[in-house]
Each structure stands twice: as C-alpha cells, then as structure tokens.
C-alpha cells in the first residue's frame, strides 16, 4: 500500500476537496459586503470608533521609534507605518464603525487591506529575530499578536451569534493590538535603552560628527 496510507497521513492531510472548500469559504468571507449584523440597530459606542484609529497611533509610534535595523532590512518599515496611518485606520473606521450594519463595499476594502497588514506585521516580527532586539520584547510582541488574532476570531463568532456586547468587547481588543505593540516598543525605547538602537540616535550621531568636522574645518 502507499506509504501515506500506511502511516495514516492521508487521513490527516486535507483532501483536495477540503482545500477547495476552505479556499472558497475564505474567498466568500473576504468579498462579502454584508456582515451578520446587517440592518441590526447596534448603537456602537463612540470609543469603538475611536479605537479604529489605533492603527494610526501605531504608525506614528513606528516613525518615532524607528530602529536602526530598518535601514538595512528589506522590510518596508516606513511604508508600513504610512500604510497604517493613511489606509488601515480610515478603512477600519469606515467599515467597522460607520457601516457595520450596512451592505457596503467598505467591508471588502477593509478585509482586503487588513489581511496583508496582518501578514506584514508578522513579517516585521520575523525581521526583528534577525536583528538586535531583546528576547523579552520579541516574546511580548508575539504574545500580543496571538492574543489579538484570538480576539478577532472571538469577535467573528460573536457576530454569528448576533451577540452585540461580545462583538464590541472582542473587536475592541483586536483593535487594541496596535496600542499593546506600541506600549511594548515605547517601554523598550525609553526604559530599556532601546533608543540607542534607533534610527534617530543614528541620525543624531551623524549630525554630531558633521558638527565636529565643521568646527575642525573652521
């Protein structure tokens, strides 16, 4: 008999039919314009809308604490920061707060942007592994991201149950990931000496050298 059958691996690995089903299911979720709360009076709290802008805060924080490794890494650090500020936050606000109960293409745009954003955030963490970063900071980042994905999954389940309160709580916690990540990096930057490994420090050192050189020339 085939080795896969002998080892029982064939029973574990997804079949072609199952893979096709999962792909179609993901595609349907990605492109749907109606949420489970369609035409439901949610009366979302104001802070729910404010939390949609947490991604912009994270983008600004990335600019403020930009690490030296971003200069040599292929990871698009500054582009990702701008992406969070100019695209992700506005789309999140439009889809999740302004149109959660509406049939709207804002939902499609938000998911089409948020999905690669999650992959980019994971890539950023992977890039940290190959550069000078404290193990505690890296672990904190990973735990925060895992918790955020868990909260997102719970918010999706709450939608299916039409549980408005659970949805608001878990989706807010999903949107809190940028704040958690920013707190982690700001603590490292200001309390653990992370500024020594920042691009700003690199710039200040270069400016100081140029000033010293100018003095010698004069």
Structure pTM? 0.78
Q: Is residue 2 over pLDDT 60?
A: no
Read off the pLDDT of residues 110-135 as tens digits, 9 standing for 90 and up: 999 999 999 999 999 998 888 767 88
Q: 194, exposed or middle or buried, with CB in 10 Å at 0-12, 13-18, 19+?
A: buried
CB–CB of 25/146 below 8 Å?
Answer: no
What number of other Cβ atoms are within 10 A of residue 192's Cβ?
12
- Measured CA to CA in angstroms, residue 185 lies from 61, 142, 204, 212 at distances of 8, 13, 20, 32
pLDDT of residue 21: 56
The rounded percent of the chain whose pLDDT value lies above 90 is 54
Picking from 41, 25, 161, 35, the residue whose alpha carbon sits closest to that of residue 107 is 35
pLDDT digits (tens, 9 = 90+) for 39-62: 898 999 999 999 999 999 999 999
Ramachandran angles phi, psi of 156, nearest 5°: -65, -40
Q: How long a stretch of residues is the chain?
A: 218
């Amino acid at each position: 008999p085939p080795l896969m059958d002998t080892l029982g691996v064939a029973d574990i690995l997804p079949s072609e039919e199952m893979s096709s089903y999962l792909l179609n299911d993901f595609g349907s979720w990605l492109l749907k314009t109606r949420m489970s709360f369609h035409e439901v009076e949610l009366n979302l709290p104001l802070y729910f809308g404010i939390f949609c802008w947490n991604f912009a805060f994270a983008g600004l924080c990335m600019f403020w604490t930009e690490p030296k490794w971003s200069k040599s890494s292929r990871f698009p650090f500054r582009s990702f920061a701008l992406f969070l500020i100019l695209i992700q936050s506005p789309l999140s606000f439009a889809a999740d707060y302004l149109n959660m109960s509406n049939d709207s293409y804002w939902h499609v745009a938000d998911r089409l942007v948020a999905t690669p954003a999650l992959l980019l955030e994971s890539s950023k963490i992977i890039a940290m592994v190959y550069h000078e970063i404290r193990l505690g900071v890296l672990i904190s980042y990973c735990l925060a991201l895992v918790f955020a994905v868990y909260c997102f999954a719970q918010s999706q389940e709450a939608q299916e149950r039409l549980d408005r309160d659970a949805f608001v709580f878990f989706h807010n916690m999903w949107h809190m990931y940028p704040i958690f990540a920013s707190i982690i990096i700001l603590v490292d930057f200001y309390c653990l000496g992370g500024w020594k490994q920042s691009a700003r420090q690199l710039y200040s050192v270069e400016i100081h050298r140029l000033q010293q050189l100018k003095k010698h020339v004069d």
